[in-house]
Chain A
Amino acid sequence: MNEIVQGLLEAGRMIVTLDRDLIEITLRSLQVTLTAVVIASAIGLPMGAWLAINRFRFRRETIALLNALMGLPPVVVGLIVYLMLSRSGPFGVFGLLFTPTAMVIAQVIIVTPLVASIAHQAIRDLWAEYHDLLISLNTTRGQRILALIWDGRRALLTASLAGFGRAIGEVGAIMIVGGNIDHATRVLTTAIALETGKGNFALALGLGFVLIGLAIALNIAIHALSRTERDSQW
């Protein structure tokens, strides 16, 4: 119990004094995760919409696979990305291992199935509603996808935020591909793992509270900006 109180105090102290290292790793956490979520959304949202409105062979299997990939173990993703980007791997010439870019790549792989899956669920329901209208208007497939994405934007925002939630708290993959290098690839989660390893529970917990606070603040900010849950809207 005492350690939790110390952790809270440590978090407060770091935020109040604008601890330089804290700011640096927090910004890097945001940089990596937001980039990954933007890329994952750019892939996952249209993919989810496309899956919802198209009928093709193995559709059921594809969707089942996508849902299964939501539970992709980050450590395995990290290991595979590591082996791909290692100098002895197929993409070694780019020298990307142990850079923030490698962390983004790993997170995109982890997050995209989650975003696509949730987007698919949301758009499928919307498509059931819009089906007759969009068909009768003689819309092209691309127009349908755009219309559904636009009208389903709130649900899709949830999909992206779920992706953000998974990525910001992820440690297994980015520890492997990023290497937790001070001033280069250290982010909040890997710093927490490191400080726990040193037995500095107060500092680790302080960083943990900062991480949780960050996730809450970002979600509130996005909801405020997108004007959800206001007045008669929902």
Chain B
Amino acid sequence: MITSRISATVSAICVSAALAAPAMAEEMKMAVTTSFHNSGLSEVLLPAIKTDLDIDLQLLVVGTGQALKLGESGDVDAILVHSRSAEEAFVDAGHGTERTEIMYNDFVLIGPEQDPVGVALSKDAAEAMSRMALGEHSFVSRGDDSGTHKKELALWASAEENPEKFGSWYRAVGAGMGSALNTAAGMDAYIMSDRASWLNFGNKGDLKLLFSGDPVLFNQYAYIPVNPQKHPHVKAELATRLKDWLVSDRARELIDGYKLNGEQLFTFNAVDPNAEPAPEQGEAAEEEVEAQDPDTTEVSPEQTQPLEPETEVEASKPAK
């Protein structure tokens, strides 16, 4: 009795939920990192994706670690994260089809305005990290296995410091970028953040951007569709269409054009199909152009140069 009642109610909810959602557009789930979402860029890209591709892109905002996990278990259709080695391991293990670099932003070091350990005087990121380790002023770490956290650990390593040996001044909060920034603002501590989250953050307190610009602080975002061979239910076709859109000139305009307080946050660097000549691939690329569904790719009329081999693999899928 009771179970039939539950299932009846549950199905009633499913129906009502289905009715509530717009019926036309197709839904697709993508796991993204908090730093991407906090930047506000998603609020520009999502409506454009809806208009151009008719895809209702649902974002799950998590750390890179969890995003990869979600892709691994097939709970999302694609991921957009920033931790190269983890991404490559993900693709190598067959969880994702391929890794496509889309854009980068950079990390910055934030700290109290007085800057007691002199981070702002550092020549490079490694020196800044050494100064913080030496000064033992409070430092807030994400501590959540996210891309940002992994980057921070790599920076400590580059300065030959080991966070596991740090004293109580090193606080791993195990939270997202925003929460970690809140904690740092409350404790007047140093913290490493991505630039976008920092600029968008509403509770800066006495904190200030102290150090940025070292190339090691660059933060590459990559898009990986979940492998449909492992998870037949994933929307591989939508994921491919989204990938083609993300490397297109339309995405370039939106990403490069997104500014906060007059600062450009992200730099589009997807390998544009027509940007890099690859003569030895000419023949394969030509076949590929024919195989493409004209609707799924944005091939501008001036595109004369051969396409990247990478694109060929991806774009030939919907034709199958």
Q: Taking beta carbons and an 8 Å cutoff, which residues of A are in contact with B?
A: 31, 35, 38-39, 42-43, 86-89, 92, 95, 97-101, 104-105, 108, 179-184, 194, 196-201
- Whether B229 is near chain A, meaning CB under 8 Å from some CB there, is no
Q: Is B313 an interface residue (CB 8 A)?
A: no
CB pair A31 B16 closer than 8 Å: yes
A226–B14 Cα distance when bound, in Å, is 30
Task: Give the shortest distance, in Å, between A160 (CB) and chain B (any CB).
Answer: 15
Candidates A42, A97, A201; contact of B203 at CB < 8 Å: A201
Q: Mark B51-75, 1 if CB is under 8 A from A, else 0.
A: 0000010111100000000001111
In the complex with contacts A31-B16, A104-B10, A198-B38, A86-B73 CB distance below 8 A: yes
Nearest first, the 7 A-B pairs at minimum CB distance are A197-B178, A199-B203, A199-B202, A87-B74, A88-B73, A179-B60, A181-B58
Q: How far is the CA of A199 from the CA of B201 in the complex (A)?
A: 6
A184: which B residues are within 8 A, CB to CB?
A: 21, 27, 58
CB nearest to A105 among chain B residues: B10
Residues in A with CB closer than 8 Å to B72 are 88
B176 contacts partner chain A, Cβ-Cβ < 8 Å: yes
**A-B CB contact pairs (8 Å), 10 listed:** A35-B13, A87-B75, A92-B73, A98-B75, A184-B21, A196-B178, A196-B182, A198-B200, A199-B178, A199-B204
Which of B6, B29, B203 contacts A98 (CB under 8 A)?
A: B29
A179 contacts which chain B residues (CB < 8 A)? 60
Interface size on B, residues (CB 8 A): 38
Q: What B residues does A89 contact at CB under 8 A? A: 73
| B93 cross-chain contacts in A, Cβ below 8 A | none
Residues of B within 8 A of A181 (CB): 29, 58-60
Contact B233 A95 (CB under 8 A): yes
* C-alpha spacing A99/B29, complex, angstroms: 11
- Cβ-based interface call for B134 (8 A): no
* Chain B residues, CB < 8 A from A197: 34, 38, 175-179, 182
Q: Is the CB of A199 within 8 A of B181?
A: yes
* Cα of A184 to Cα of B28 in the assembled complex, Å: 11
Question: What is the CA–CA distance of A100 and B185 in the complex, to the nearest angstrom?
Answer: 34
Pick the contact of A101: B17, B61, B185 (CB < 8 A).
B17
Q: Are A200 and B202 in contact (CB under 8 A)?
A: yes
Q: Which residues of B contact A (CB under 8 A)?
A: 2, 5-6, 9-10, 13-14, 16-17, 21, 27, 29, 34, 38, 56, 58-61, 72-75, 175-179, 181-182, 185, 200-204, 231, 233
Q: Is the CB of A88 within 8 A of B74?
A: yes
Chain A contacts of B17 at CB under 8 A? Answer: 99-101
B199 to chain A, nearest CB (A): 11
- State whether A101 touches B75 (Cβ < 8 A): no
CB neighbours (8 Å) of A38 from chain B are: 9
Structural contact, A180 and B61, CB atoms closer than 8 A: yes
Cα distance, A185 to B90, chains bound together (Å): 27
Distance in angstroms between the alpha carbons of A45 and B211 in the assembled complex: 60
The closest CB in chain B to the CB of A182 belongs to B59
Chain A positions within 8 Å of B182 at CB level: 196-197, 199
Residue of B nearest to A202 (CB): B202
Q: Which residues of B contact A99 (CB under 8 A)?
A: 14, 17
A92 to B73, CA, bound (A): 9
Q: Is the CB of B2 within 8 A of A201?
A: no
Say yes or no: A198-B9 contact (C-beta < 8 A), given A101-B17, A184-B58: no
Q: Are A98 and B179 in contact (CB under 8 A)?
A: no
Known: A31-B13, A86-B73, A108-B6. 7 other contacts (CB 8 A): A87-B73, A98-B75, A101-B13, A181-B58, A196-B179, A197-B177, A199-B202
C-alpha gap A214/B231 in the complex (Å): 41
Write out the residue numbers on chain A whose beta carbons fall within 8 Å of the beta carbon of B178.
196-199
- In the assembled complex, which residues on chain B have CB atoms less than 8 Å from the CB atom of A196? 178-179, 182
Q: How far, in angstroms, from A201 to B233 measured CA to CA in the complex? A: 40
Asked if A104 contacts B13 (CB within 8 A), the reply is yes
State the Cβ distance, A142 to closest chain B Cβ, in Å: 11
Query: When chains A and B are docked, how far (Å) is the Cα of A125 from the Cα of B10?
Result: 33
Chain B, Cβ-Cβ closest to A201: B203
A17 to B284, CA, bound (A): 57
Shortest beta-carbon distance, B155 to chain A, in Å? Answer: 23
